[in-house]
Amino acid sequence: MIDHLEKMRARKAANDYMAGIPVRQQADELSVKKLAAKFACTVYAVNRALENMPAPGLTYEDGKLIRECYAEHQRLSSLAQRLTMNALSKHYGIPVGAIQVELDLKGFVNPMRKADDRVVPA
pLDDT of residue 107: 86
Compute the distance between CA of residue 53 and CA of residue 49 in angstroms, rounded to an integer.
5
Q: Does the residue 113 lie in any domain? A: no
The answer to whether residue 73 is domain-embedded is yes
Domain presence at residue 110: no
Q: Which of 68, 69, 70, 45 is nearest to 58 (CA)?
A: 45
Instruction: Give the three-class secondary structure for 102.
Output: helix
Range of the domain at 50: 4-104
> For the chain, how many structural domains are there in total?
1
Q: Report if residue 84 sits inside a domain.
A: yes
Report the pLDDT averaged over residues 57-86: 94
Mean pLDDT across 52-80: 93
Does any domain span residue 98?
yes
**More confident call, 119 vs 74:** 74
Record the pTM: 0.78
| pLDDT, position 1 | 46
Tell which residue, 29, 37, 65, has the closest CA to residue 50. 65
pLDDT band at residue 63 under the 50/70/90 scheme: very high
Residue 56, classified by CB atoms within 10 Å of its CB into exposed (0-12), middle (13-18) or buried (19+), is exposed
Q: What is the pLDDT of residues 2-20, one digit of tens each?
A: 588 889 999 999 999 999 9
Please tell me the predicted confidence (pLDDT) of residue 109: 82
